[in-house]
Structure 1
Amino acid sequence: MLNKTRGRPRGNPDTKARIAEAARELFLERGYKGTTVRAVAAEAGVDSALISYHFGSKQRLFGQSLNLLCVESTALDQALQGDQAGLADRLLTSVTSLWDATAPTENRMALQDDDTMRAFRDYLESELLVRVAEFLGGPDATERATAAVGVIGGLIFTRSLNPIRSIAALPSAEVRRIFGPALRAALHARARQH
């Protein structure tokens, strides 16, 4: 007997939307860290393989279900490839590329909701910070990743949520030129001497 809940359902074009809606509810209720792909699948009444099929990853599901177009899993994955010396430039390139691909008002509207903001902060802390710290390695990796996420999060917030006109109006190349040194300093700061 075939398991009817596995694989891509036939004749049900609303599956992706149903998954996104279930994910949105859970992310807003439980935050990024507290929401699992299995829980989303159970809430949507689908096999978790369908989440991979439609969204590819938890991070992409998060960004699409909350309409946070500034969150894109492949951009972060690409930024975390290569040497540590180029990480700041790759992170800034991924953030500004996502800005260039979306209208600023789309992210701004999504981030105006308090629950979405809470889930986004949870994402920055439990996904971005953790992955950057793992990439950096060493005893002070979490401290350096925290500083880096502060710079990146600040850029996202001042561009998307509550824009500072002088920052929001900067072309991507200027954002990378101006904020690159601060991000490099955060990522490559020496451990404090005690």
Structure 2
Amino acid sequence: MLNKTRGRPRGNPDTKAQIAEAARALFTQHGYKATTVRAIAAAAGVDQALISYHFGSKQGLFGQSLNLLCLESTTLDQALRGDHAGLADRLLTAVTTLWDATTPSENRLALQDDDTMQALRDYLQSELVVRIAEFLGGPDATERATAAVGVIGGLIFTRYLNPIRPIATLSPTEIRRIFGPALRAALHTRTRQR
């Protein structure tokens, strides 16, 4: 008779920390796009399934391993559901919800670490631009997604990483009111054909 147990896998309680440490080293060395879940699992000496179990996804592991908990994959997934017209507000809500939950000192530490900032830039370029472009569709989707990430990145930088007081003190509602038109224009303005 087989004795199969359900629930949390048995093993070393430090497995999650071991995976995060291996991931941080690989993400900072190779960037987000070039780092695979398979490579992280091999470096940590664990099965790939443990990465999904502990972190949910590559994106979740990236955010947690670099202490960028503001990069929560389920929030991006939720923002990319629904109609195109409401996308700007959903993205701005996702940004303010996630980044407002982090402490300013954590955000400033990320800014001081060149490897972390490079990995964040790589994430924005290879994950966020791609996901938004897929949602938008069309021949100029990547250009519109790039413009949108420019607006979002600018907001993140001036509100969280290197705060400018007038932007840092805005409420989430004011963020949507003020940044919404620029983000909507980026997302929905078709670029001219050359």
* Total equivalences in the alignment: 189
Instruction: Output the amino acid matched with 1:26.
Output: L
Q: 1:37: how far off?
A: 0.5
Identity %: 82
The answer to whether the aligner puts 1:159 opposite 2:159 as a matched pair is yes
Q: What is the alpha-carbon distance in structure 1 between the residues aligned to residue 159 and residue 100 of structure 2?
A: 12
Instruction: Output the amino acid matched with 2:165.
Output: R
Q: What is the alpha-carbon distance in structure 2 between the residues aligned to residue 135 and residue 53 of structure 1?
A: 27
TM-score, with structure 2 as normaliser: 0.93
| Matching residue of 1:87 | 87
| Matching residue of 2:37 | 37
In 2 relative to 1, CA 154–120 (structure 1 residues): closer, same or farther, beyond 3 Å? same
Q: 1:11: how far off?
A: 4.2
Q: What is the alpha-carbon distance in structure 1 between the residues aligned to residue 104 and residue 177 of structure 2?
A: 20
Q: 1:8: how far off?
A: 6.1
Instruction: Output the amino acid matched with 1:89.
Output: D
Q: 1:31: how far off?
A: 0.2
| Matching residue of 1:115 | 115
3-state secondary structure, aligned to 1:85? coil
Q: 1:8–1:50: 8 Å Cα contact kept in structure 2?
A: no
| Matching residue of 1:63 | 63
| Matching residue of 1:177 | 177
Q: What is the alpha-carbon distance in structure 2 between the residues aligned to residue 43 and residue 37 of structure 1?
A: 10
Deviations 1:21-70 (A, max 9, x none): 00000000000001000100000000000000000000010000000122
Unpaired segments ≥5 residues, structure 2: 1-6
| Matching residue of 2:192 | 192
Deviations 1:60-117 (A, max 9, x none): 1000000012211011000011111111010000001112322222222123200100
Unpaired segments ≥5 residues, structure 1: 1-6
Please, what is the CA RMSD of the aligned residues? 1.6
| Matching residue of 1:3 | none
In 2 relative to 1, CA 11–139 (structure 1 residues): closer, same or farther, beyond 3 Å? closer
Q: 1:148–1:187: 8 Å Cα contact kept in structure 2?
A: yes
Q: What is the alpha-carbon distance in structure 1 between the residues aligned to residue 104 and residue 136 of structure 2?
A: 30
The answer to whether the aligner puts 1:28 opposite 2:15 as a matched pair is no
| Matching residue of 1:99 | 99
Instruction: Output the amino acid matched with 1:48.
Output: Q
| Matching residue of 2:135 | 135
3-state secondary structure, aligned to 2:85? helix
Q: What is the alpha-carbon distance in structure 1 between the residues aligned to residue 32 and residue 59 of structure 2?
A: 9
| Matching residue of 1:4 | none
Q: 1:69–1:106: 8 Å Cα contact kept in structure 2?
A: no
